[in-house]
Chain A
Amino acid sequence: MTFIPVLFLVLLFCRQPAWGGVLEGVVFSHDGPVAESRVIAYPDFESLVRHEKSIESSSGEKGGQFKLKLAPGVYYLVATGEQDGRKLFSYHGLNPITVSDEYRWLPFFLTPEKEPVCKEGQGTGISGLVSYRDVPLDHGVVSVYKSREGKFRGMGLLTNTIGDNGLFHFNLEPGSYAVVARQKKKEGGIGPVMQGDLFCYPSTNPIVIEEDRLCDLAIECYPRDNLEEYLAEGAENPQGRRHEKRRHASLWDIQPEEAQTRILVRPATISGTVTDLNGRPVENLVVTAYPSMGIDPFQMHILRLITENRARTDDQGRFRIELPGGGLYYLQAREKIGAAPERLEYYGLYEGNRNHAIRINPGESRSRINIQVAKIMPFSEVRERLQGEEHD
């Protein structure tokens, strides 16, 4: 009988392809949905920068809506469009996003593209103006990240506060950087972008800084998950009649941490306290968890190895670090970031084992981790001797 093998082959070839997720959503600007807009997915940040390996959306049911089918995986999602002759851009604040086989509704908030203006002879770095709906911010923070990091969360390489005129400035070494600004609605400083907080990512990221060139940026923000505030008076609300249903599926409706749990990877957390040699808590130190791959514990001050896995201690010396996943992490507490240990700086390594490291599984939480710190090099063996001779 040949019936059964033939049936098997028919069934085999009739299997549906293993598509991952279906993403739908809307792309809109201050003036409402943007027709002819596109959402583009890239497999990694480098591809986004090079505009390679892209997967583009198709149009949705209505103007400004899109539909995108993606195989399971990690993607960087951006949207582009044009309105009144102006080019518009949006970088999704949760990038990189892992797509599974679930349905997702994603809104993209477009802001105008603005090219940086770079000049020679004014130093090496990045300066600029951060605004929301064309009004300069009066508070908030701007962070600079090494562009190769690809994940632009936390304090980054450097973080500065925005002046009350919306201006900021960074002196930098030549290199490629990404700039992200944020404004917390309730409080200043670092933390997840919550509903109503402003998120600001310029379309020109990453910005290449050359020696003796200062690049000036104009960065426009949008509010997280607050369409009503973003839309101009009288603009069409793109949420439409299926508002409630769609919001339920929106990534913006959940906290970044929860989003990661649900659709990215399962994060791990390390928490504990930092104390001095007398057991007293030490506040305002930076506790960093360095992934162990490729470095040893004594390279943790090297600028290029800087990591986002860090947190500051509170007034009780407590810290809590969110990690992107499991692994082996070196733990260090100190005052500075990205610089070699300095005289009279509080410094300490985790001493729970000789590697100064904690191995943690995805989704695991490790608490009661103590790091002892002390001010290093408080004594001088030769400084006075040499300086005395210098003055003689």
Chain B
Amino acid sequence: MIKPVIRRVIFALALVAAVFYGSASAAPAEGQAPFPAPSLNLQGQVIKTDTTWSGTVIIEGVVVIGRAATLTIAPGTAVRFRKIDRDLDGTGDSELRILGGIIAEGAAGKPITFASAEPEPAPRDWSYLLIYTSSRLNRIKFCEFRHGFSGLQVQFSTASVKNSLFTDNNEGLRFGRADLAVENNRFDNNNIGIRFTRMEGPVLIRNNEITGNRIGIFLVPSGQNIKDFFEPDRGGRAWNTGRLEIGANNIHNNLAYNLSLGEKQLWNLDMSGNYWGSGRDELIEAGIFDRHRDQSLGKVIYKPFAAEKIPGAGIGTDR
């Protein structure tokens, strides 16, 4: 016979476990608000069913959202990554990897935050939120990314990234082959604000505030397997026309360059319609690393440009 006291303790523990498990790994019923969870600690694991996070979520190691699952994150949720560096490369190994889908939509004044769990946080404390070979339409809105190697990476996936802040990361946003909209975000105080690593698309970068980074935007093509964009003959149009649009952004006061082309970026790019921090050609060109400085690179066509800051660029409220 189990004593009544012990039975009550077991019941209480079971109740706590049920609430904890339910908030962490079960999708809420349709129309039901996510359960306000206590702190959730996740260590290296694969989550294979639809999941909703809220409250504070601590990640230690690599957490994978499986291909059949979608992770929904409620407004105001704090996702924190512990710094562990098993390979001693100076970058924390903790990571959130999405193979399925992610809907992380915060709200103005109630953002979802992805940051270091360390008491003295620093860039590279964690790796990144990686969306990789996803078959979903992923949404990142009103989120904040801090202290990552890259705050967010989008590779071989479709996503929209809006109204979000990327600050104090090594790279704010990195992407390769992607179908991606990057609109009304702020990138500041990163080593690199936006890094496009494959120069394949289509990608739209519009109405963003990109300032105070070492390099604002860094564009470098892949050395192999180039598809979609590899079409040097564009009938006289700039190479990126219809494939990559970078327009109506405020790209200014970045420490080394507002825009830099990487090795083998041989083609001319149309980047007109942005504000570059000045109305004078020589000052704008001083902030762009292209054929002006390296004859092997393409030319950035920045004219016509905005002479004044573009109102409405940056996080704003909701668009």
Query: Which residues of A are at the interface with B, using a C-beta cutoff of 8 A?
Result: 277, 298, 301-303, 338-343, 347-349, 351-355, 372-383, 385-387, 389-390
Contact = CB atoms under 8 A, between A and B. Distances in A.
A376 B156 contact: yes
Contacts of B136: 379
Nearest to B132: A298
B68 to A, nearest CB: 5
Given A303-B224, A386-B245, A381 B64 contact: no
B137 interface: yes
A340 B198 contact: yes
13 contacts: A340-B227, A348-B67, A351-B67, A352-B46, A372-B66, A373-B67, A374-B135, A379-B179, A380-B179, A382-B181, A382-B202, A386-B202, A390-B241
A205 B266 CA distance: 36
A389 B224 contact: no
A382 B158 CA distance: 9
A376 B181 contact: no
Contacts of A349: 67, 99, 133
A339 B179 contact: no
Contacts of B44: 353-354
A381 B225 CA distance: 23
Contacts of B64: 351, 354
Given A376-B157, A383-B179, 11 more contacts: A277-B68, A340-B225, A348-B67, A352-B46, A353-B44, A353-B46, A377-B135, A377-B158, A379-B137, A381-B179, A382-B203
Contacts of A380: 158, 179, 202
A375 B245 CA distance: 26
Given A372-B68, A377-B179, A383-B202, A351 B160 contact: no
A380 B203 CA distance: 10
Interface string B232-258: 000000000111010000000000000
Given A341-B156, A372-B66, A354 B46 contact: yes
Contacts of B45: 354
B225 A386 contact: no
A43 to B, nearest CB: 32
A340 B222 contact: yes
Contacts of B108: none
B160 A376 contact: no
B269 interface: no
Nearest to A387: B242
B180 interface: yes
A379 B158 contact: yes
B177 interface: yes
Contacts of B179: 343, 377, 379-383
B159 interface: yes
Given A340-B177, A386-B243, A378 B135 contact: yes
Contact of B62 (A341, A343, A354, A381): A354
A293 B63 CA distance: 22
Given A340-B198, A381-B179, A381-B181, A302 B160 contact: no
A390 B155 CA distance: 24
Nearest to A338: B225
A340 B97 CA distance: 18
A302 B99 contact: no
A381 B181 CA distance: 7
Interface of B: 44-46, 48, 61-64, 66-68, 97, 99, 132-137, 155-160, 176-177, 179-181, 198, 201-204, 222, 224-225, 227, 241-243, 245
Contacts of B227: 339-340, 342
A372 B48 CA distance: 11
Contacts of B67: 277, 348-349, 351, 372-374
Given A339-B225, A386-B242, A376 B134 contact: yes
Contacts of B62: 354-355
A377 B156 contact: yes
Contacts of A338: 225
Contacts of A352: 46
Nearest to A304: B224
A342 B155 CA distance: 11
A153 to B, nearest CB: 24
Q: Which 5 A-B pairs have the closest CB atoms?
A: A390-B242, A374-B135, A341-B156, A382-B204, A379-B137
Contacts of B225: 301, 303, 338-340
Contacts of A373: 67
Contacts of B242: 386-387, 389-390
Contacts of B176: 340
Contacts of A277: 67-68, 135
A371 to B, nearest CB: 9
A341 B135 contact: no
B156 A351 contact: no
A348 B176 CA distance: 18
Interface hub of B155, B157, B202, B204 (most chain A Cβ within 10 A): B202
Contact of A386 (B132, B159, B204, B222): B204
A389 B242 CA distance: 7
A343 B133 CA distance: 9
A330 to B, nearest CB: 13
Contacts of B46: 351-354
Contacts of B61: 354
Contact of B245 (A302, A376, A379, A389): A389
Contacts of B66: 351, 372
Nearest to B95: A354
A370 to B, nearest CB: 11
A355 B46 CA distance: 9
Contacts of B133: 341, 347-349, 376
B135 A376 contact: yes
A389 B243 CA distance: 10
A343 B99 CA distance: 15
B314 to A, nearest CB: 20
